[in-house]
Amino acid sequence: MTYISIIVFIVALLGLLISKIKIDKERVRLLNGVKETINYNANPLVDISTGIWLSIIISSLIVWVISISIFFSLAGKQYFIVSPMGTKTAIVTEGIKLVMPLSKISVWDKYIDVRVTTEKMDKDALNELEGQMSPVGIRFVDQVTAKTYPAVRFQLPFDKDSFIKMAIKFRSVSNLVNNTLIPTIKEQLLNTGYMFSAQDYISGEAQNFRQTFEEQLLDGAYKVKKLTVRDTTYEEISQTDINRKVKSIKTSYNVVKVLSNGIPERIPTEITENNILVSQVILDNVALEEAFVKRLENQRDESAKRQLEQQKVKTAKDARERIIAEGERDKAQEKVKQELAQVQVLINKETMLKEEETNKKLAQIQLETERIKANQVKVKADADAYEIRKKVSAGITPEKKLQMELDASVQRLEAISKLTLPTTMFIGSSGSGDSDLLTKLIGADIATKINANNRITTK
């Protein structure tokens, strides 16, 4: 619209000027058979009035003024405006905006992407980048070098005052990117590398490394100090029954943050001083130097070999302890078996002893019973003998006496035949001769008979 209005204005102005030029020409005409020569203005624009030309000129001026005073603010853009009077203002929102005519408008991208480019990126992606970097070389605290591949997105200040100040200071996006953003990214990467060791980085501190880098971009660099730590360790080496220890001194460097009232002290950067926001930080890769990687591989192989040897030693020790344990187990089992056998023998002996004691008591009871029965027989026999003697003394005939003695003998024998003798008897004797109950009974009976016969004979 601006260019059209300018073209219309120029054309109208030229038309007005050309219309004022007089071009005299003669023309012959025949009137009532008489030829007349007429002079006239041959300018083709003479018929257009000056008012028309002026109205066109004024209209084009109005359109031009409107076209340069009104514009549409695009999304993702911020505008720095300097009026003809030198007044500075900023537009940070989207929509139709009105500015003073002839103002100088500088367009800034609201978001600025800066990253390390690679061969894999296509041309469209490269064209959209405001800042392109090469890999940033850093050095860890243990003197190991590495190449880093950052990708950072920045956001311009949203408040107008900070944006105007930044726009005046840097003048253009390219100046801001090349002279401030990229150098600040490199500086903070170097500072972050100084706070870590390569060994710690590969041992699980990679996430902390990225976080520290982002924090330093957001709020400024940390003020740090370096500490040297020497750690002495002793590693045991087992050789048969001898334990040896290897002394190892490990020197490490710790970089700690300087605190003030418990809060880390910060060093401001151009990003923080100009209120530029860091909306996204990505660290695509940290490529450690080849020598360190090769050393890590060698350490890994040596560590694997050492662990394998230690495992073999441990396996051998476990095997030896297993054999000893199995021997102790077998010994204990054999001891338990023998003790069980001895206990069984003792139990059998005690059982036999108790059985013998029980049998002895039963035999004694049976002996007493038979002794009582024998005494009963003896008493009965004595009574019968006494009865016979009384009858003989009363005048019984010899034949009757003999018959009575015969009956008494038969009864005695029947009683003896009915007598049940014990199968096991304990008979004591003060002499050296042997005797039994039957012999004693028979002897006692014979003695009784002899005594009775002697009494009868004497009478």
**Whose CA is closest to 149, among 226, 213, 77?**
213
Supply 139's token pair: 């050095």
Q: List Cβ neighbours of 300 (8 Å cut-off, separation of 6 or more).
A: none
The per-residue pLDDT for 206 is 85
Question: What is the per-residue burial (b if ≥16 Cβ within 10 Å, else e) of 158-172?
Answer: eeeebbbbbbeebee
Bridge partners (DSSP) listed for residue 137: 147
Answer whether 212's CB lies under 8 Å from 188's CB: no
Q: Tell the CATH topology of 107-288.
A: Tetrahydropterin Synthase; Chain A (3.30.479)
Is residue 217 within 8 A of residue 273, CB to CB? The reply is no
Map tokens 């500075």 to a residue: 88
Q: How far apart are CA 172 and CA 180, in angstroms?
A: 12
Q: How far is the C-alpha of 446 from the C-alpha of 441, rounded, in Å?
A: 9
Per-position DSSP letters for 232-270, written without gaps between them: EEEEEEEETTEEEEEEEEEEEEEEEE-EETTEE-EE--H
Report, in this order, helix, strand and coil percent for the chain, each rounded to 5: 55, 25, 20
Tokens of 283: 């660290």
Which one-letter DSSP state was computed for residue 425?
-
Instruction: For residue 260, give both structure tokens.
Output: 């003030």
Query: Collapsing DSSP states into helix, strand and coil, what is residue 92?
Result: coil
The first and second tokens of residue 263, run together, are 């809060």
CB-based contact 86:164 (threshold 8 Å): no
Residues 156, 29: Cα–Cα separation, whole Å:
78
CATH 3.30.479.30 domain residues, the chain: 107-288
The closest of 154, 156, 135 to 146, measured between CA atoms, is 135
- H helix or E strand, kind and range, residue 363: helix 290-393
Q: Which residues of 43-68 are buried (b: 16+ CB within 10 A; e: fewer)?
A: beeeeeeeeebeebbeebeebbeebb
Smallest Cα–Cα separation from 217: which of 169, 181, 246? 181
Task: Give the global pTM.
Answer: 0.54
SS3 108: strand
Q: What is the pLDDT of residue 433?
A: 46
What angle (nearest 5°) sits at the alpha carbon of residue 213, between those of residues 210 and 218?
A: 125
- By the 8 A CB rule, do 406 and 384 touch? no
Q: For strand 145-155 and strand 111-116, is the pairing parallel, antiparallel, or unpaired?
A: antiparallel
Per-residue pLDDT of the chain (459 residues; tens, 9 = 90+): 566 767 776 777 777 677 666 666 666 666 666 666 666 666 666 666 677 777 777 777 777 777 777 778 788 888 888 888 888 888 888 888 777 777 788 888 888 888 888 777 777 777 778 888 888 888 888 788 889 998 889 988 888 888 888 888 888 888 888 888 899 899 989 888 888 888 888 888 888 889 888 888 888 888 888 777 777 776 666 555 566 666 676 666 677 788 888 888 888 888 888 888 888 888 888 888 888 878 877 777 777 777 778 888 888 888 888 888 888 888 888 888 888 888 888 888 888 888 888 888 888 888 888 888 888 878 887 787 777 777 667 666 666 667 777 777 777 677 666 655 555 444 444 444 444 555 555 555 555 655 555 554 444
- Taking the C-alpha atoms of residue 349 and residue 50, their distance in angstroms, rounded to an integer, is 156
Nearest by Cα to 68 from 28, 99, 106: 99
**Residue 46: predicted pLDDT:** 62
